Every structure is written in structure tokens, then in C-alpha cells.
């Protein structure tokens, strides 16, 4: 069976919507879990001129390509065969959320070698990141608020360890700093209010 092409998937998705928009009118294009799988990103993605959210999750893509000229704010490429994030810099000016869990990514350098002025969230669970330097370098991304790195082979991984290395974050793996303290029973306020605790 031939793999599904991006073009066919986009056209099929647009046709499935009630108002039958043209591909270039789509603000959201959800072409995840195609059967047969999409195996590569193709030039036809350039049709998505107004797309803010593109999901290609649960396919069999191994490289990020052909994002040039797109204005993506949310890009989801989870559950594919991605080894490198190279190619994501094509949407560096607009990208706010990157969902790339369940791949084989071991480096995040592309995110710090380029300026991503609006990037707020990186979800990269269950990849191959094993070096804390990759995480620490994310301090360069001023706008970053939320990350998820659970399931990576980082030594002594914990949410608190990520907060220690990226102190400006609001959430790690869905937890705020306050939630973690409460979970560990370290809430000073609670302790002073109730001496029995």
C-alpha cells in the first residue's frame, strides 16, 4: 500500500468539514493518524497559508520539512519517527506550542540556536534526551512557560529538577511549583495554619 500523501490528507480533511473550506482557508489542519501513514512532509504543505495549528501526529514521518512560509502557532508531530527537530526553525517567528512526544529526539539545539520569540510550550515526553545541558539551554527561550520531558533517559529526572534548571517555568509535566511543594507536603502556609500536619 502506498503511503498517504500530505496533499491527499489535507484535501480529505478540508472536505470532511461542514463548510468545505479550500486548503488555503484552513486555520486548523488535523491530519494525524492517517491510514496508510504519511511518511514524509511534502511541498503541498505550502497550501496551508492561513493554518495556525497543524497536527501530523501518529504517522511515520522521520524529518521536519516544508514548513517555510507557514504561520504555525501550534505544531504537533508526536508519535512519529523524528530524530531531529531541524526544520522547525522555518516557523520560529510564530510558533507557540511544540508537541513532539514519542519520537527519537535526543537534542533540542535547534530551539536555542534560533530565536523562537513566542514559544511557550514544549511537550517532548518519551524521547531520547539524555543530557541535562539540552534542558538547561532552554533558558535562552525567554517566552517559555511550560515543558514536559517525562520518559526521557535523563539521569535522576524529576519535575523539581527541571524547575531547578529552568527556574522561570510555570509548569513541568503539568505541575506548577506550588503543586509540587504541596505534593511533597512542604507547603509552609499549610503547616503554620495547622500545627497537627
Q: Model confidence over 53-110: pLDDT tens digits? A: 999 999 999 999 999 999 999 999 999 999 999 999 999 999 999 999 999 999 999 9
Question: How are beta strands 121-123 and 175-176 bridged, if at all?
Answer: unpaired
d(CA 115, CA 112): 7
d(CA 138, CA 134): 7
pLDDT of 193: 45
pLDDT of 133: 98
Question: How are beta strands 146-148 and 175-176 bridged, if at all?
Answer: unpaired
Q: Does this model's pTM top 0.85? A: yes
pLDDT of 185: 80
Question: How are beta strands 175-176 and 171-172 bridged, if at all?
Answer: antiparallel
pLDDT of 189: 52
Low-confidence ranges of the chain (pLDDT < 50): 188, 190-197
pLDDT of 182: 87
pLDDT of 187: 54
pLDDT of 171: 98
C-alpha distances in Å from residue 59, one per residue of 31, 45, 79, 153: 9, 15, 7, 23
Question: H helices of the chain, where?
Answer: 6-16, 109-113, 132-136, 159-165, 177-183, 188-193
Count of helices and strands (H, E) across the chain:
6, 8
Domains of the chain and any CATH numbers = 6-193 (3.80.10.10)
* Cell digits of residue 67: 514548513
Amino acid at each position: 500500500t502506498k503511503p498517504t500523501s500530505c496533499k491527499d490528507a489535507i484535501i480529505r480533511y478540508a472536505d470532511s468539514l461542514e463548510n468545505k473550506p479550500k486548503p488555503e482557508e484552513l486555520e486548523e489542519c488535523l491530519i494525524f493518524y492517517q491510514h496508510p501513514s504519511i511518511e514524509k512532509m511534502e511541498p503541498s504543505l505550502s497550501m496551508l497559508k492561513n493554518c495556525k495549528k497543524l497536527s501530523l501526529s501518529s504517522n511515520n514521518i522521520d524529518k521536519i520539512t516544508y514548513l517555510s512560509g507557514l504561520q504555525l502557532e501550534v505544531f504537533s508531530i508526536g508519535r512519529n519517527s523524528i530524530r531531529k527537530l531541524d526544520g522547525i526553525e522555518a516557523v520560529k517567528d510564530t510558533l507557540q506550542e511544540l508537541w513532539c512526544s514519542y519520537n527519537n529526539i535526543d537534542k533540542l539545539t535547534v530551539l536555542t540556536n534560533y530565536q523562537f520569540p513566542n514559544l511557550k510550550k514544549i511537550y517532548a515526553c518519551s524521547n531520547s534526551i539524555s543530557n541535562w545541558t539540552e534542558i538547561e539551554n532552554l533558558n535562552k527561550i525567554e517566552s517559555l512557560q511550560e515543558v514536559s520531558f517525562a520518559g526521557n533517559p535523563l539521569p535522576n529526572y524529576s519535575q523539581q529538577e527541571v524547575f531547578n534548571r529552568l527556574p522561570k517555568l510555570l509548569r513541568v509535566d503539568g505541575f506548577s511549583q506550588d503543586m509540587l511543594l504541596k505534593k511533597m507536603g512542604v507547603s509552609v502556609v499549610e503547616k503554620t495554619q495547622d500545627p497537627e500536619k
